[in-house]
Chain A
């Protein structure tokens, strides 16, 4: 068995020794450098750009302004699989450079120069005239009648509004003896803050554009660059080397289209576009900030009679992934705590904030914060134990969602909570933390979540795989799902070794994705890689094995059904005799004068299933009331993501997600100047990403119920760990102080105001 073992990452040695090549390492040092001129207003029109002074700067090769872009190819940026149905296509609202400014930092011109200093000086020397409009930063404000308008096609600024109606909410809340619990919950605009900022470079060769980019989705980027430039998609080649994290930001076309366009403006010369951290914050993508309004009506026995939800999702200036995120957040509401009478509305609203796109959890960290904070508010009002309440009201075992057909096959919620309770010594601490009075108090809180695996049936799910047998019996594997730091290549190697009966070391995963060479696949997103690639790896591996055994039959004359591959040898299973090493067979096959064969296989698997992934977080927090600080003292996530392919990597994945959740809950938020819509803290000093010094030991545990729909029993784990953390911390603060704080992050400024309101300071 290779599956289920904590084998070292296939890329570990190269990455820790600095040998692994990233985009910037690969780019020729003679590349021209592109720098973008970003708008210094948040809403309005570029009236003119004077390039006279900038042109004079030595080393400047080309200046392109929004007025030079004559062919207006509007393109969508979301890294979704393309839909051939126009009704399901993403909104095409971007241009490579724009005259109509919709956020502070919009892309209005670019300079290509011999070096970075010349390019930067030239951008600074551009003189821009604007017509400025007022800005709006909040989705609820943006929906008001007199709010500033952002997109001509959306006069009320609402990108989309969808609803869920079940039973009769209005009637059900009239039932006698109900208790009403109501709350508003608010989550911040946060950024992915991957280590490697977005970077790409582009050059023309043989009449085609070759673009190397730090992206999660090379095949999708090929399509979008084609759309943005009005070029045939086959004339574009995208190469994705190792990348320093993406977390969803790179599940979007960022500056690949602009870089490709600039390349065409300098005769196809090599152009590199490397964005700064400041630009990554202000001009890439961010997580949708959301406001939730929840009303719950409870019966005296602690069951829900009726529930209502409103979600206002801050889209920022352009559509990007759009309403998918709010829709996903809303969809979780009636499934997490099923109730007969539910009314839900979700609005995705344009504002002049940074464009919101995909980010680890895709709406679920926001939803979890709101729903699970509300759950503890309900328990407080009703005087109920938060665990007992959840056991009674959470999605029960056997629950099936009508749309996705996902099923809660096991009793995963209770199993996960049981583990968390035990590790945290939950009930003893809950008792110990009762009736505290001092300045410094402790509390314990928890939170649950569910998450889908992959995007079926909302969108296409397809996976393609190619395997090639080498002379020594080792195998190359390629899939369309990308390695983005999560360890996918290692999981693929383990799966391939498992299916083929090879030692782990005999599997070579081709990590670089090249749209000219890699089988079609839509990339890394939706926590789908091990699930979707699992199907195509299994299918393609079985195909390859069949061909190998056919050739083994030719060499040994033994019946194929009596043969198998075990640990890299062809074995007669009836008596276990090793007939030949796979290397001998492969060498013979390639060089045979009688029957030479290049043994390969390639296949596509279309996935028409999905799977619920489950989990919870328990947090113990110390609150220093006079200092207005909350500090996590102990924290654990427990997940049921099916069978673990590599437990050590799974644990690492959980640690990363928890860290992101701690930042989301306690420190991270992008701050905007209300007058100009400028981001105030778009750097890693002022944006308070947590450091090692801000974390306790992160603990991860698992309940391994093999997922019945899955090729290897596995399901989503990439995004889930980030989902339940903020609400667990918030609920622990509630436990410690009795104060419900409904706005994250629970940074000192927020706690200061709340503690003052409650008379604690």
Chain B
């Protein structure tokens, strides 16, 4: 039995905005795999909810004319994993969200919810950071688009204005074309867990596969919000494909990441793992991009 004050169901994106403006204290609910847990814990007990779960127009993956991949915010993790467009162009995102919780959570949980709750450990978030994703928001003033890095403000807090909901996540063609990626989830077990540290790497190699033209790396749980590590990216740009380059990549990560000390894992441990993850992640991404290492 959940302690819910009222539930309002939106019938369109505009209706959702109306409802949110009419009930400024209300919490948006999509799949509910986070919100209901929080209500049960007492954190959001007695709240009003605005459900957007029935807005099918926010569900699904499309390839737009300019090559942008559009992922509707209500698209479930299992849908993303199995989607043909995702598989063809950014398979690593499908792999990353396939590591969320268990099968039931992946059927109900949405990528919009995973990013809007603002947690650093979200399995989708680090990969979206690494792909330079754009977040699309709809509110009283119309549509707004902003880079995912700007969407995250601080732990548990994203740039959602009154009456706004997230409607889509966009990956521009130039962000993915020619890149191959790899996601590592470091957790204490192989299912039903939250990342102790998550690391998404993607890389673009020269035509002869000997040189790294570009590498991007993003972490979850290495700071209060998901983050890129520019020092590491800079350190390997233009470098030859080699074990040594991967090692440098790992070392450079330590200049940027700033995980916290908690009872779940110490900072020293997270830093150590973070370094290993970057090194191994780059190796794997290079192999997927056709490089020999």
Contact = CB atoms under 8 A, between A and B. Distances in A.
Interface of A: 115-117, 120-121, 124, 626-628, 667, 671, 673, 680-681, 684-686, 688, 690-694, 747-749, 752, 761
Interface in B31-63: 42, 45-46
Contacts of B45: 120-121, 124
Contacts of A694: 189-191
Nearest to B102: A691
Interface of B: 1-3, 42, 45-46, 102, 186, 188-194, 196, 263-266, 268-269, 272-273, 276
A673 B264 CA distance: 12
A35 to B, nearest CB: 11
A627 B191 contact: no
B266 A749 contact: yes
A150 B265 CA distance: 31
Given A680-B263, A690-B189, A749 B269 contact: yes
Contacts of A685: 192-194
A121 B5 CA distance: 13
B192 A691 contact: yes
Nearest to B186: A627
Contact of A748 (B46, B191, B268, B269): B269
Nearest to B3: A117
A693 B263 CA distance: 24
A115 B1 contact: yes
B1 A693 contact: no
B190 A691 contact: yes
Contact of B264 (A124, A686, A692, A761): A686
A299 B71 CA distance: 71
Nearest to A684: B192
A65 B239 CA distance: 70
Given A117-B3, A121-B45, A752-B269, 14 more contacts: A120-B42, A121-B3, A667-B188, A684-B192, A688-B188, A690-B189, A691-B189, A691-B190, A691-B191, A691-B192, A748-B188, A749-B265, A749-B269, A761-B272
A555 B190 CA distance: 67
A747 B273 contact: no
Contacts of A688: 188-189, 193
**Residue of B45, B192, B268, B273 with highest tally of chain A CB at under 10 A:** B192
Nearest to B263: A680
A680 B262 CA distance: 11
Contacts of B188: 667, 688, 747-748
9 contacts: A117-B2, A121-B46, A628-B272, A667-B188, A684-B192, A686-B264, A690-B189, A691-B189, A749-B265
Contacts of B1: 115-117
A690 B192 CA distance: 9
Nearest to A663: B189
Contacts of A692: 191
Nearest to B42: A124
A120 B264 contact: no
A621 to B, nearest CB: 15
Contacts of B190: 691, 693-694
A525 to B, nearest CB: 29
| Smallest CB-CB A-B distances: 4 pairs | A693-B190, A693-B191, A116-B1, A626-B276
Contacts of B186: 627
Given A120-B3, A667-B188, A686-B264, A628 B193 contact: no
Contacts of B272: 628, 752, 761
B276 A627 contact: yes
Contact of B189 (A667, A681, A752): A667
A279 to B, nearest CB: 13
B189 A671 contact: no
Nearest to B265: A749
Contacts of A747: 188
Contacts of B268: 752
A699 to B, nearest CB: 20
A374 to B, nearest CB: 27
A690 B189 CA distance: 7
Nearest to A278: B41
B42 to A, nearest CB: 7
A56 to B, nearest CB: 15
Contact of A671 (B194, B263, B273): B263
A681 B46 CA distance: 25
Contacts of B276: 626-627
Contacts of A115: 1
A388 B54 CA distance: 67
Contacts of A691: 102, 189-192
A761 B273 CA distance: 11
A636 B42 CA distance: 44
Contacts of A117: 1-3
A605 B196 CA distance: 55
B150 to A, nearest CB: 30
Contacts of B193: 685, 688
A690 B188 CA distance: 9
Contacts of A121: 3, 45-46
B269 A693 contact: no
A753 to B, nearest CB: 9
A40 to B, nearest CB: 13
A338 B102 CA distance: 48
Nearest to A690: B189
Contacts of A627: 186, 273, 276
A424 B60 CA distance: 49
B207 to A, nearest CB: 32
A117 to B, nearest CB: 5
Contacts of A752: 268-269, 272
Contacts of A686: 264
**Residue of A628, A681, A684, A749 with highest tally of chain B CB at under 10 A:** A749
A70 B265 CA distance: 46
A202 to B, nearest CB: 20
Nearest to B279: A626
A130 to B, nearest CB: 20
Nearest to A121: B3
A660 to B, nearest CB: 15
Contacts of B266: 749
A748 B192 CA distance: 17
**Residue of A116, A626, A684 with highest tally of chain B CB at under 10 A:** A626
B153 to A, nearest CB: 25
Contacts of A761: 272
Nearest to B4: A117
A693 B194 CA distance: 15
Contacts of B194: 685
A694 B196 CA distance: 16
B63 to A, nearest CB: 33
Contacts of A116: 1
Nearest to B46: A121
Given A671-B263, A749-B266, A693 B273 contact: no
A688 B264 CA distance: 11
